[in-house]
Amino acid sequence: MAKDANKPEGNRKAPLSTEELYNKFDNISSILIVNLILELNFLKILLLLLTMLPLLDKIFLLQLNLVQSLTDTMI
């Protein structure tokens, strides 16, 4: 008795059709593209924060000087 080529043997799954393979790869590539976009956005935000660090340092020093001058005038 000949077995059908598309019928799985035992626990083996039937081979995927070409269309199913395309769908799987399309889904995987979509996920990879979304992950890449999110990672690039994260890197852009990180770069922006790193470029703002000197400015934030100056703002912090200005606030510190302001607080010191206010406490000096209160004493």
Report yes or no: 36 and 42 within 8 Å, Cβ to Cβ: no
Q: What phi and psi, each to the nearest 5 degrees, are found at residue 45?
A: -65, -40
In this prediction the pTM is 0.45
Band of the pLDDT at 60, cuts 50, 70, 90? confident
Taking only the tens place, the pLDDT of each residue in 13-52 is: 888 888 888 888 888 888 888 899 999 999 999 999 888 8
